[in-house]
Amino acid sequence: MTLIIAGIVIMVVSEAGTLAGIEPFASWNTPIAWTGFIVFADAFVYRARGNSWIRSAPHEFVWLALASIPLWVVFEGFNLVLDNWYYSGLPRNFWLRQFGYAWSFATITPAIFEAAELFAVLRGATPTVESPARSRGGKPGQRGPSEFDRLGGAVLWIPLGLIMLIAPFVVSSDVARYLAAPVWLGFIFLLDPINARLGAETLSRERVINLSLSGVLCGVLWEFWNYWARAKWHYTVPIMERLKIFEMPLPGYLGFPAFALECFTMYVFVRAMFTKLGRTIAL
């Protein structure tokens, strides 16, 4: 209960400090508030279920946070072509700015996964993201077949995912700005069938529900905490740009559930590849 309250206090104090223009909250609201959310959600899940990412698998949680940084940098790379957002109010000092990037990016995937577990608890469902360290006997739970296998198989979905991810790079810059949706969907189609063949977790119906709810919640919180911050992002999305909730044009909120699914497929893929690499080295 103490950590639940601590997480809530961190979020409330950071947002209140931001609204009052008090530093460091005003410039660092995003990473501070998300750290509070992660502490809150993890403690809530642990209290309800008896295991959680931080309490039961701290080493893997660190890996999750570290992996979150390059996984988000992938989307920053896409944005060089999409030109859908930019940042303002960042620290002038180069190293302080890089630290801010790293801290903020390191909260993205953990926040989505913690929120998904939070919804799993509230719905009385099984854990969304399996962790061997959090499973009985140190072994992950059952892996079901990919939903994509039932809807056409890898022959259809993997090429479609590749096309969606490559498309922004082979069209004109004016057209590329309208191709955010394929980027927010492409990794799902590409990686989930591959994950199935690697023997890793796939997007079951329950995972889709929990992660989609997580995406909606996290999306609203991202935009809420960003809106009044001094160090923040702005959108240049060319679709309904003037119809906004906070900084985000209204259609953009449809992308958050898909983004949560992408975070799942990308992390599961990376973890599966590192696991296989570790076994190969051990041999």
178 inside domain: no
Indicate whether 90 pLDDT > 60: yes
| Structural contact between residues 36 and 18, judged by C-beta atoms closer than 8 angstroms | no
pLDDT value at residue 237: 81
- Express as a percent the part of the chain with pLDDT over 70: 89
Structural domain includes residue 142: no
Instruction: State both tokens at 154.
Output: 């890898």
- Strand 244-245 to strand 248-249: parallel, antiparallel, or no bridges (unpaired)? antiparallel
Find all residues with CB under 8 Å of 104, minimum gap 6, and list them.
30, 31, 34
Output the pLDDT for position 154.
66
Q: What is the overall mean pLDDT for the chain?
A: 89
Number of structural domains the chain divides into: 1
Q: Tell me if 162 is assigned to some domain.
A: no
Average pLDDT over residues 50-77: 95
Residues 57, 252: Cα–Cα separation, whole Å: 33
Answer whether residue 89 shows pLDDT above 80: yes
Task: Please check the confidence at residue 98 and state whether its pLDDT lies above 50.
Answer: yes
As given in the structure block, the two tokens for residue 149 are 């296998």
* DSSP, res 76: H
Place of tokens 């079901």: 144
Domain-located, residue 140: no
In a domain, 148, yes or no: no
Neighbours of 206 (CB within 10 A): 15
Q: Of 65, 108, 73, which Cα lies nearest the Cα of 214? A: 108
Residue 16 inside a domain? The answer is yes
Instruction: State which H helix or E strand residue 245 sits in.
Output: strand 244-245
Please give the Cα distance from 186 to 175 (Å, whole number). Answer: 17
Within 13 Å, how many C-alpha atoms sit on residue 190's CB side? 16
Mean pLDDT calculated for residue range 159-179: 92
Quickly list H helices, the chain: 2-19, 25-49, 53-56, 58-82, 94-106, 108-123, 147-150, 154-170, 173-176, 180-197, 205-227, 255-282
Residue 86 lies inside a defined structural domain of this protein? yes
Model confidence at 138, pLDDT cuts 50, 70, 90, reads very low
What pLDDT shows up at residue 131?
63
**Residue 57, SS3?**
coil
Residue 82 lies in a domain: yes
- pLDDT band at 251, cuts 50/70/90? confident
Q: Give the domain extent around 24.
A: 2-135+208-282
Say whether pLDDT at 137 is over 70.
Answer: no
> What number is the average pLDDT over the span 52-71?
94
Mean pLDDT score, 260-267: 96
Q: Average pLDDT for residues 144-169, to the nearest whole number?
A: 78
Q: pLDDT value at position 153?
A: 63
